Structure 1
Amino acid sequence: MYINEQGAIPINGALQYVSIRSEKENAPLLLYLHGGPGDAALPLVQKYNRDLEKHYTVVVWEQRGAGKSYYKFGPEGITIAHFLEDLHTLTELLLKRFGQEKLYLVGHSWGSVLGLTYIRQHPDKIHTYIGCGQVIHMKKACREAYDFALSHAVGKELERLKRTDCSYTGEDWLNDLLFVTGLVVKYKGSLYGKSSYNMLIKPFLFSRSYTPVDLYRRQKGSLQAIRCLWQELMQTDFENCRKYDVPVIFIEGRYDSHVSSALVKKYFDTLESDRQFFWFEKSCHFPQWSENEKFNSILASLAE
């Protein structure tokens, strides 16, 4: 192992946990932006995407308030802009330390909102952007998820859904959101072939990087971030942005009903930028882990 560093560093006033690993000297930098908001993913990347360390210096950042970077947000509140500032600070630190001009950026789900926004703001810092479980238009994606749940639900679930507001603006919006998401998972629209997230929980339980306290903090961080950020996240809409100044790659699960992959393909077809699209036929919202070998191979080819 050429480099293996794990630890918290101060980023814009908050200690945030960063993992840096590589088996290759002077490898290009790859920064992974996890989903959520607040849903840390370090053990999953280390388990399913470890082969990338043969080609890149892989950086996994647990964002402020998430997982090993958990802290209680103050009354002043938190916005997407805070995370974009953190991303920029971390990007500059990494580029300076490793003597590189640009890095590869991977954004998953919530992380894909940060990723697409960041490459518009700082295209000079990014070699290539890779989005998976990509968010394009959050309100439309939530409607698609709701319709998927509606098409499968029966009995009391169906009755409850009919009373649910999938714009998530009512007084009970958080419970509505968690209910709909739970049904999407249950009916296998989120994790391919699975009706629960057990496959994604096990790597945390057996990870050397995660303690039982970290797992508890991950749960608290996820719920806190959703409460604080969801209403702003619902305003996300990239549909009118047709051109990016960096190459854009979308890797999408064919059956993603968690964040509709059909919306991503429709958007991709309108882009005027350097672009590539990959369908993963045995994936939903997590192609990087459901078909990790294929995912790793595509990213490895970019580094050649």
Structure 2
Amino acid sequence: MPPVAQIDSCHARTPAASAPPAGNRGLAVLIAVTMPVLFGVVSGIFTPRGPVTTGEALTTMALALAIGVIAGAAVRSRWAIVFVPVVFIAALEVTRMPITGPTVDAVRLDTQLGWIAFVTGRGIHGLLAVAPLILGAIFGAAYARRHKRELAAPRRFTQRIGLYSRRTLTALLTLTLIALALGVARPAGTDPIVDADGTALPGSIAELTTVTLDGRELGVMIRGHDVRNPILMFVAGGPGGSELGAMRRHLSALEHDFTVVTLDQRGTGKSYAELDPASTLTFDRGVSDVIDLASYLRERFGTDSIYLVGQSYGSLVGVRAAQQRPDLFTAYIGVGQMVSPAETDQITYLDTLAWARASGNREVIEELTAIGPPPYERMSDYEPVLTHETPDVYPYDHSVNSEGAGQFSENLFVREYTLLEQIHALGAFMDVASILYPQLQEIDLRVDALKLDIPVYLMQGRFEARGRAELAEEWFDMVQAPHKEVLLFDTSGHRPLFEQPEVFHDAMVRIEGQR
């Protein structure tokens, strides 16, 4: 009879047979407790936010399964299925207490953001560590009891039903974890650029790689039909956003005319593993990373033609980088330009409250009144405004655009991301934003970015939120630059380069042609 059946099948032949001597029992319990404690401590030190890379995930699953087997075999009892995971979780939570962020902070299930943080944080960690611990404990206890011949065949009908039910659940858990391991092991990649015959285009580049910046391995996607083309370097928004999928799905036309470089900033997308220690995650360090990457690209490709494109939060990083090192960049292109996050939030809060009152939405009125105007210490307090911004407060028709109302979430399921990167995308967004967003409250480009020594182009959506659009217009009128220009995308909101990619492509080709 298979070990899975044996653990649950029945009764020890005698009470004495089911219980090892007292000395052995003490040692067994010590082993069964010590192993998951050590596993929890090690996990809390090395993977405090859970496994974030393929290697970490598969290693965690293998260790958890092995530890579960050892613990289950030591105590020869189904109770190992309960106490081994509990001991592991307790040790993990205590060890990672210094780590902060929505995915590791106290569980809050009263908001959508709280659920997202729980599922992408503790939820996926549970699948990768707790579930294999449970399965291992089942197998370990079954093997030990069979080896000691402590099990008898089930006699009564209800006993057989219970046995088969437990067998079925164990089999389902086993298959689920095998499928999860196979999914986690799926590598990421990016398709080569090919000619009409399907042959890699000579002189082209299609890389999904990492670049070491300030000792950190940051994910970078580099694609282009000809490496001699000028470089377009894209810095995503958020903070915490990753746009590898959006650049691939909507802006592949750029690759004909530019070598397109898309950076995953610290803690985002393919760079999620570089989030900790959180003390290194600063706005200024993000600016330095962009400057360092530009220097790397100049040296690698032997060019001094780099167009810096920043979207949303990335536009703040981009302006600062262009201020500090104008010699590295041909021009700055701001998309969904941010100017003063604090003032934008104030305006959006008031507009959301006005919309709620006009529409009679008492729930939102009460929420906004209770929390008061921003800034907020907790990310979850931004939820009422974030939830209602585009569909309700600033509505427009997304159906005519390349990217729909789902925005960046529509672009996760591309092969440039591993399964874990897809799962962690929203959790990473929240963790990074919780650390970086408070640092942005003092930024106001109308005060500290009134002169750029390179051309400035703003590409704005006609339906951009008022709190961003009006401030961007004010800053643009104030800033001094060798050349400046605004292009309005007539069916777009905050993400015009993805909503109307053909317009963005044509604009970039024109800008390069005028150089």
TM-score when scaled to structure 1? 0.92
Unaligned runs of 5+ in 1: none
The answer to whether residue 366 in structure 2 is matched with residue 163 in structure 1 is no
Q: CA deviation at 1:174?
A: 1.6
Retained in 1: the 8 A contact 2:207–2:222? yes
Q: Percent identity?
A: 26
Retained in 2: the 8 A contact 1:138–1:233? yes
d(CA) in 1 for partners of 2:251 and 2:467? 22
d(CA) in 1 for partners of 2:450 and 2:381? 33
Q: Name the aligned partner's letter for residue 239 of structure 1.
A: R
Quote the residue 1:292 is aligned against. Answer: 501
Q: CA deviation at 1:29?
A: 0.7
In the alignment, which of 298, 319, 334 is matched to residue 95 of structure 1? 298
Q: Deviations over 1:111-138 (max 9, x none)?
A: 0010001111001111000001111112
Q: Name the aligned partner's letter for residue 255 of structure 1.
A: F
Q: CA deviation at 1:292?
A: 1.3
TM-score when scaled to structure 2? 0.56
Pick closer, same or farther for the CA change 1:199–1:121 going to 2, 3 Å: closer
In the alignment, which of 322, 329, 337 is matched to residue 126 of structure 1? 329
Retained in 2: the 8 A contact 1:42–1:60? yes
Q: Name the aligned partner's letter for residue 200 of structure 1.
A: F
Instruction: Tell me how large the CA RMSD over aligned residues is.
Output: 1.9
Q: Deviations over 1:74-110 (max 9, x none)?
A: 1535211111121111111100011112410000011
Q: CA deviation at 1:148?
A: 2.5
Q: Deviations over 1:236-294 (max 9, x none)?
A: 11103322100000011122117521211122122332200111121111111111111
Unaligned runs of 5+ in 2: 1-192, 194-203
Q: Secondary structure of 2:233's partner?
A: strand
In the alignment, which of 109, 128, 137 is matched to residue 312 of structure 2? 109
Pick closer, same or farther for the CA change 1:188–1:299 going to 2, 3 Å: farther
The answer to whether residue 446 in structure 2 is matched with residue 239 in structure 1 is yes
Q: Secondary structure of 1:225's partner?
A: helix
d(CA) in 2 for partners of 1:115 and 1:212? 30
Q: Name the aligned partner's letter for residue 254 of structure 1.
A: R
Q: CA deviation at 1:176?
A: 1.6
The answer to whether residue 221 in structure 2 is matched with residue 12 in structure 1 is no
Quote the residue 1:189 is aligned against. Answer: 394
Q: Name the aligned partner's letter for residue 450 of structure 2.
A: R
Q: Name the aligned partner's letter for residue 388 of structure 2.
A: L
Q: CA deviation at 1:218?
A: 1.6
**Larger strand share, 1 or 2:** 1
d(CA) in 1 for partners of 2:393 and 2:456? 28
d(CA) in 2 for partners of 1:42 and 1:258? 28
Q: Deviations over 1:19-65 (max 9, x none)?
A: 11111240001100000111101010111111111110000011111
Retained in 2: the 8 A contact 1:190–1:284? no
Retained in 2: the 8 A contact 1:184–1:258? no
Q: CA deviation at 1:181?
A: 1.1
Q: Which has the higher contact order (CA 8 A, sep 6+)?
A: 1
Pick closer, same or farther for the CA change 1:125–1:192 going to 2, 3 Å: farther
The answer to whether residue 490 in structure 2 is matched with residue 281 in structure 1 is yes
Q: Deviations over 1:153-192 (max 9, x none)?
A: 22211221122333224x5x32221221111133163885
Q: Name the aligned partner's letter for residue 204 of structure 1.
A: L
d(CA) in 1 for partners of 2:266 and 2:491? 32
d(CA) in 1 for partners of 2:380 and 2:425? 19
Q: CA deviation at 1:301?
A: 1.3
1:20-39 matches, within 5 Å, as: 20-39=222-241
Q: Which moved more, 1:156-165 or 1:258-267?
A: 258-267
d(CA) in 2 for partners of 1:36 and 1:69? 14
Pick closer, same or farther for the CA change 1:84–1:272 going to 2, 3 Å: closer
d(CA) in 2 for partners of 1:262 and 1:168? 19
Pick closer, same or farther for the CA change 1:74–1:53 going to 2, 3 Å: same
Retained in 1: the 8 A contact 2:336–2:459? yes
Q: Secondary structure of 2:207's partner?
A: strand
Q: CA deviation at 1:209?
A: 0.8
Quote the residue 1:49 is aligned against. Answer: 251
Structure 1 segments (4+ residues) deviating >4 Å: none
In the alignment, which of 201, 220, 227 is matched to residue 434 of structure 2? 227
Retained in 1: the 8 A contact 2:340–2:444? yes
In the alignment, which of 409, 427, 431 is matched to residue 201 of structure 1? 409
Q: Which structure has the bigger radius of gyration? A: 2
Quote the residue 1:70 is aligned against. Answer: 272
d(CA) in 2 for partners of 1:249 and 1:221? 30
Q: Which moved more, 1:113-122 or 1:181-190?
A: 181-190
Retained in 1: the 8 A contact 2:343–2:467? no
d(CA) in 2 for partners of 1:190 and 1:26? 42
Aligned residues, how many?
300
d(CA) in 1 for partners of 2:212 and 2:239? 20
Q: Secondary structure of 2:428's partner?
A: helix
Retained in 1: the 8 A contact 2:240–2:429? yes
Q: Which moved more, 1:94-103 or 1:140-149?
A: 140-149
Quote the residue 2:44 is aligned against. Answer: none
Q: CA deviation at 1:220?
A: 2.3
Q: Secondary structure of 1:236's partner?
A: coil
Retained in 2: the 8 A contact 1:191–1:285? no
Q: Which moved more, 1:255-264 or 1:80-89?
A: 255-264
